[in-house]
Each structure stands twice: as C-alpha cells, then as structure tokens.
C-alpha cells in the first residue's frame, strides 16, 4: 500500500513537472524572434514603399505590405557608429558617450542584446558594426572591420579574421542564412542583427547590378542646384556638394589616367577597386571603360551644370546599384523565414543607420538635422501583432528600438533607457502614444564633410536648430509650408511666437534627456585633448 502510494506520488510529481515544462516550452514558443535588418546610408527616397521614382525594392516593400511603414522615423545623431550605439543602448549619444565615429564605444554600456541573451534569446550579428570593438551579448558574430569592403571583404570572427571572396552583400547574407540553418537552436527564440555595408560610399555594385544600372538615368531632385541662400553658414560651408566635393576617381569611378589627361584636380582616396581579382576587374572595366571613354570625349564641352548632372547620374547609378543587391538579399532572408514557418511570430525590422542626400540641396552624405539625413527608413513586420498595409506617421526614433524589442520579448527594460517602446503603435493602439517632439544632437566637427555641431528639436510642424562651436546660429523651418527646408524663418517676425515656443520646448526636452551646454563643452574638450582643435 505504502509502496503504491509512493509510486503514485512519484508519477504525480513527474506529471506536474512535465506540465510545468510544457508551459515554459509554450511560453518560449510565444516569444518572438527578432530580425533586425539595417543597411548603411540607405535613404528612404530609395525604397519604393516610400517613393518609386528612383528604384523598385519589392522585397523590402514586402515588410510594409505585410506590416507597418513609418513615415516619420528619425535618428538622434545622423552618423554611423553613434546611431548604432543609440540603437543598442536605448540612450542618446551624450549619455552613451559614442558621439562620433572616432571615439571608441564604451563597452560598460548595457545593450539590449546583452539583456536578451541573459533572458534566454540566442543572439547573432553579421555584417557592419563599425564600433572599433567587438559586440557584447552575442553567441556568434562575423563583422566587418570598420567600414568594411564591397569586394572580397575581411570579416572579424570569434575564431580570428578571415577574408571571403565575393560581394559583401551576398556574403553577409550567406553567413546569416548559414547560422539560421545550421547553428540555431530551433527550440529557442533568436535575435539576429543582419547589417549591410551597402549602400555606403564609395558605392561599388555587384556585376549583375552595375551592368544594369550603369545604363539608367534618373530624375533630378528639385534642389540639385541649391545655392544655400536663406539659410545659415553651416549649409553653405558643408563639404558634401556633388559638383564640388564628390571625387572623380573614388566616387565617380573615372580612371586616374583620364583625370590626369583632362587636367582635373581631384582628391586622392585609397581606391577600393584595387581589391578586385583580375577577373572581377576585367568585368568591371568592360562596363566602366566605355563610361570613361565617353566622359573623356564630353568633358571639354561640359560646364558646371552639365558636370553636376553627369556626376549626379554616375552617383545614382552606383548607389542604387548597391541597393538592388540589398533588396535581393533581404528577399532571401524573408523567403527563409517563410520556408521555415517562422514568419508569423518573427518581428522583422528594416531600417538604416541614418538617411542620406541623393542630390537634394546638391548634396551627398548626411549629418545634418535637415530632412533627408534626419529621417530614416523604417518598416516593421510581425504578422502576430501588426496588421498588414498599415502606416504610422508618429515621430519615432532609433532611440526606441531597444525598449521595443525588450517589451516584445516580455523583458523589463532598464529604467535609464531613454526611448519608448513602439509596441502600442505596432498594435494599432495609437491613443497610448503621446510624443510630440524629438531631440537631435550632432558632434563630429571639425571633420570630413565639415558639418558644424548642432542640436535641435522637431515637432510635426517645426524644426528649430542651433549651430554652435565656431558659430552661434539658429534656424527655424516650417515643416508644413517648406518641406524642402529652403527658408530659415528664425528672424521672420511672423514666426516670433513660434520661436519662443520652440525654444521653451527645446529647453524642456534637453532637461528631459539630460543634455546641457556643459556636456557639449566636455565633448569639445575631447577634440582638444586629441589635438583635433586648438
Ligand atoms: C567615410 C566616408 C565619408 C562618410 C564617413 C562616415 N569617406 O569617412 O564620406 O561620411 O565615412 O560614414 S570615405 O572616403 O572613407 O568613403 S558613416 O556611415 O560611417 O558614418
Ligand atoms: Ca551610415
């Protein structure tokens, strides 16, 4: 009797514990996978879900068709490594300390992948990080050193460095799919950071795309010939004008001997086409050779305006050519999720580390708080939670990712993260979202492209910017009446009340995020210590 009671008790215990196991397994299944896809310098103007006048991106667009398109997503500091630090920490640059591409990332910062890893997520990162140090909180990573290379790139891995022959966008995807297929534990949720180098300068497309894109011509942006009137010193002195600052050899792919023959003055940069194998180079020359020959013939009769148009077209052909490979490869990853039945409960993000100028204001590059570099593309799909074909016009930022992912995974976010979870917006509960302004602060100056230090605030209607350090200039833009930001109305008496109101809001938001002039001074001192300024 006693024995059968004991057996019964044991059986009961086994039953209870197996029930408990089942529920935790069930729970595990409910936690979403997170696939964070980010490219580098991908302008929203070059995604057909936003605008199809430049390129078709059917695979990236799938995320909007099957999920949510954000029309008003921005970054807090429009430059590569700082944006990545904001994304990983959920804190503004002045708090996480990664203010520019030069200072190393402070690895005592807590990042959301570290928190997810502790919470039982599998974590992997492939592609471009650009931190100068390796990421913490990842089971596996294979990352490009610094900016990385388009052709035959080197990767940093946990087992040492390796060079892989081929094209970076394809290789980054191969590594990603390989991890998902072979080394992922299918019983656990995962965080995958799949980070493209493209379409970063100097825009080297894959063979299949330069062959196609080198023949195309693109519509000119309305402000290609901007003369920077009605704005401050910063716009006029920035060195990112396509005609004046884009290089012939490195950017526009004109051969050095032709530059010399034509007597063109060009800034010499280390040309990455030198990395190509002879076979890759021969194929490249079969397309770029005739372009060079044609340019040589036409150059003597070109003026500033025809030259600007020629350089813009060359720029777009290569820039957009690199995006075509990103789009195809995003398609490969989305197809894999479909095939494995993972689509329904995987939160997929597509974004860029910041926006980019595609000839607007005559520019390339980013850095400014003006629209094309402040705005970043953002598309999110998660069929389990997000209705298809939805759009959000709310002001969201790269600052919000960390808390969004933590909430999606059912993990508490640390109190000192500064963003807001996008979960209410994803679920269509817009009434729970009440942000009415976002904050911005850019630091990397003096530096390449000469964009002055500035901070500012944007509301739906206005943008107020303060340029400081070697100037003390304010700019106000009426976002509704002047979406191209061609007129600084800061001194216009009609906007006097708006200036007062926006300045009050700016003071309040700086207090909220703990930014101050004293901190700005400290970050200037770092440049002094490094001898970058006197
Ligand atoms: C490089 C580029 C710049 C670019 C920065 C930052 N020059 O320095 O044009 O602004 O990267 O880009 S290059 O001659 O090296 O191509 S970022 O995306 O990494 O912030
Ligand atoms: Ca970038």
- pLDDT tens by residue, 232-276: 999 999 999 999 999 999 999 999 999 999 999 999 888 889 899
Helix extents (H) in 199-352 = 207-213, 233-237, 242-245, 256-262, 278-298, 304-339
Distance 407 CA to ligand 1 centre (A): 34
Contact call for residues 56 and 216 (beta carbons, < 8 A) = no
Give me the pLDDT at residue 26, please.
67
Q: What angle do CA 321, 162, 250 make, to 5 degrees?
A: 35
Instruction: Pick 445 or 130 by higher pLDDT.
Output: 445
Closest by CA to 200, choosing from 147, 151, 239, 140, is: 147
pLDDT digits (tens, 9 = 90+) for 371-382: 999 999 999 999
- Asked whether 375 lines ligand 1 (CB < 6 A), one says no
Instruction: Report strand pairing: 73-74 vs 378-381.
Output: unpaired
Contacts of range 292-300, beta carbons closer than 8 Å, 24 or more positions apart: 292/253, 292/254, 292/255, 292/258, 295/254, 295/258, 296/258, 296/261, 296/262, 299/262, 299/264, 300/262
Ligand 1 closest atom vs CA 200: 18
Give me the pLDDT at residue 269, please.
87
The CB density around residue 394, as the number of other CB atoms within 10 Å, is 17
State both tokens at 148: 């990385």
pLDDT digits (tens, 9 = 90+) for 341-395: 999 999 999 999 999 999 999 999 999 999 999 999 999 999 999 999 999 999 9
Termini Cα distance of the chain: 91
DSSP code per residue over 62-128: HHHHTSEEESSEE-SS-SHHHHHHHHHHSS-HHHHS--SSSSPP-TTS--HHHHHHHTT-EEEEEEE
Contact call for residues 164 and 152 (beta carbons, < 8 A) = yes
Contact call for residues 402 and 116 (beta carbons, < 8 A) = no
pLDDT, average across residues 287-305: 98
Contact call for residues 372 and 47 (beta carbons, < 8 A) = no
- Asked whether 365 lines ligand 1 (CB < 6 A), one says yes
Q: Mean pLDDT check: name the lowest of 17-31, 175-189, 465-479, 484-498.
A: 17-31
pLDDT of residue 225 exceeding 80, the answer is yes
Where does residue 449 fall: left (phi above 0), alpha (psi -120 to 50 degrees), or beta otherwise?
Answer: left
Calculate the CA dihedral of residues 164, 166, 169, 171 and round it to 10 degrees.
-40
Residue given tokens 């310098």 in the structure block: 41
State both tokens at 448: 């390449």
Residue given tokens 């379409």 in the structure block: 199
Closest by CA to 424, choosing from 435, 414, 416, 437, is: 435
Ligand 1 closest atom vs CA 40: 18
pLDDT of residue 16 exceeding 80, the answer is no
Confidence class of residue 25 from pLDDT cuts 50, 70 and 90?
A: low
Distance 201 CA to ligand 1 centre (A): 7
Report the distance separating Cα 210 and Cα 208, nearest Å. 6
All residues at 6 or more sequence positions from 63 whose CB lies less than 8 Å from its CB, including other chains: 49, 334, 348, 350, 379, 380, 381
Report the distance separating Cα 194 and Cα 39, nearest Å. 9
Give me the pLDDT at residue 5, please.
53
- Asked whether 420 lines ligand 1 (CB < 6 A), one says no
Give me the pLDDT at residue 528, please.
95
Please tell me whether residue 33 adopts helix, strand or coil conformation.
strand
Confidence class of residue 4 from pLDDT cuts 50, 70 and 90?
A: low
Ligand 1 closest atom vs CA 353: 18
Protein residue with its CA nearest to atom 13 in ligand 1: 201
Instruction: Pick 386 or 22 by higher pLDDT.
Output: 386
Report the distance separating Cα 73 and Cα 400, nearest Å. 10
Report the distance separating Cα 111 and Cα 133, nearest Å. 14
Please tell me whether residue 352 adopts helix, strand or coil conformation.
strand
pLDDT of residue 413 exceeding 90, the answer is yes
Contact call for residues 376 and 387 (beta carbons, < 8 A) = no
Report the distance separating Cα 353 and Cα 101, nearest Å. 12
Ligand 1 closest atom vs CA 367: 10
Of the listed ligands, the closest to the CA of 98 is 1
pLDDT digits (tens, 9 = 90+) for 152-196: 999 999 999 999 999 999 999 999 999 999 999 999 999 999 999
All residues at 6 or more sequence positions from 78 whose CB lies less than 8 Å from its CB, including other chains: 354, 355, 366, 367, 368, 369, 373, 374, 440, 442
Calculate the CA dihedral of residues 118, 119, 123, 128 and round it to 10 degrees.
-70
User: Which strands, in side-by-side order, build the sheet including 160-163?
Assistant: 160-163, 154-157, 140-144, 122-128, 190-195, 33-39, 346-352, 378-381, 68-70, 390-392
Contact call for residues 310 and 297 (beta carbons, < 8 A) = no
- Asked whether 271 lines ligand 1 (CB < 6 A), one says no
- Rounded to two decimals, what is the model's pTM? 0.95
- Asked whether 209 lines ligand 1 (CB < 6 A), one says no
Distance 456 CA to ligand 1 centre (A): 23
Ligand 1 closest atom vs CA 365: 10
pLDDT digits (tens, 9 = 90+) for 106-134: 999 999 999 999 999 999 999 999 988 89
pLDDT, average across residues 308-330: 98
Average pLDDT, the chain: 95
Ligand 1 closest atom vs CA 269: 14
Cα 87 → chain centroid = 10
- Asked whether 257 lines ligand 1 (CB < 6 A), one says no
Give me the pLDDT at residue 271, please.
84
Confidence class of residue 21 from pLDDT cuts 50, 70 and 90?
A: low
All residues at 6 or more sequence positions from 338 whose CB lies less than 8 Å from its CB, including other chains: none
Report the percent of the chain where pLDDT is more than 70: 95
Protein residue with its CA nearest to atom 15 in ligand 1: 201
Give me the pLDDT at residue 131, please.
87
pLDDT digits (tens, 9 = 90+) for 70-86: 999 999 999 999 999 99
Closest by CA to 45, choosing from 329, 373, 315, is: 373
Protein residue with its CA nearest to atom 8 in ligand 1: 448
Give me the pLDDT at residue 1, please.
46
pLDDT of residue 94 exceeding 90, the answer is yes
């Amino acid at each position: 009797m006693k024995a059968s009671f004991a057996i019964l008790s044991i059986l009961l215990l086994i039953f209870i514990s197996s029930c408990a196991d089942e529920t935790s397994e069930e729970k595990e299944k409910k936690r979403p996978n997170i696939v964070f896809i980010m490219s580098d310098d991908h302008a929203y103007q070059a995604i057909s879900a936003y605008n199809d006048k430049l390129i078709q991106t059917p695979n990236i667009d799938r995320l909007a068709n099957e999920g949510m398109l954000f029309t008003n997503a921005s970054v807090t500091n429009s430059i590569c490594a700082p944006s990545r630090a904001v994304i990983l920490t959920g804190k503004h640059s002045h708090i996480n300390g990664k203010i520019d591409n030069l200072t190393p990332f402070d690895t005592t910062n807590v990042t959301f992948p570290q928190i997810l890893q502790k919470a039982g997520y599998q974590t992997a990162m492939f592609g471009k990080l650009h931190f100068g140090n390796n990421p913490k909180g990842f089971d596996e990573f294979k990352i490009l050193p610094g900016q990385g290379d388009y052709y035959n790139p080197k990767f940093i891995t946990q087992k040492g460095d390796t060079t892989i022959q081929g094209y970076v966008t394809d290789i980054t995807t191969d590594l990603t799919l390989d991890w998902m297929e072979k080394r992922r534990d299918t019983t656990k949720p995962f965080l995958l950071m799949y980070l493209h180098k493209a379409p970063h300068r100097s825009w080297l497309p894959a063979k299949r795309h330069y062959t196609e894109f080198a023949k195309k011509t693109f519509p000119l942006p309305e402000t290609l010939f901007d003369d920077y009137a009605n704005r401050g010193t910063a716009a006029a002195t920035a060195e990112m004008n396509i005609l004046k600052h884009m290089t012939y050899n490195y950017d526009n792919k004109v051969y050095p001997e032709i530059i010399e023959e034509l007597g063109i003055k060009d800034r010499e940069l280390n040309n990455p086409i030198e990395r190509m194998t002879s076979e890759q180079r021969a194929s490249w020359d079969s397309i770029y050779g005739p372009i060079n020959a044609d340019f040589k013939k036409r150059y003597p009769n070109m003026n500033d305006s025809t030259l600007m148009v020629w350089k813009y077209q060359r720029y777009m052909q290569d820039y957009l050519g690199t995006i075509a490979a990103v789009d195809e490869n995003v398609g490969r990853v989305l197809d894999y999720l479909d095939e494995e039945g993972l689509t329904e409960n995987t939160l997929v993000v597509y974004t860029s580390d910041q926006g980019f100028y595609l000839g607007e204001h005559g520019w390339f590059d980013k850095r400014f708080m003006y629209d094309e570099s402040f705005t970043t593309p953002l598309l999110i799909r998660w069929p389990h939670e997000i209705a298809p074909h939805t759009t959000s016009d709310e002001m969201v930022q790269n600052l919000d990712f960390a808390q969004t992912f933590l909430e999606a995974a059912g993990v508490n976010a640390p109190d000192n993260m500064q963003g807001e979870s996008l979960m209410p917006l994803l679920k269509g509960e817009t009434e729970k979202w009440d942000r009415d302004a976002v904050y911005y602060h850019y630091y990397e100056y003096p530096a390449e492209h000469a964009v002055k230090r500035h901070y500012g605030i944007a509301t739906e209607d206005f943008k107020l910017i303060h340029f400081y350090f070697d100037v003390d200039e304010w700019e106000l833009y009426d976002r509704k009446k002047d979406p191209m930001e061609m007129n600084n109305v800061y001194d216009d008496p009609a906007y006097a009340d708006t200036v007062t109101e926006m300045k009050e809001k700016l003071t309040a938001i700086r207090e909220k995020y703990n930014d101050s002039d004293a901190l700005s001074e400290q970050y200037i001192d770092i440049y002094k210590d490094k001898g970058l300024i006197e």
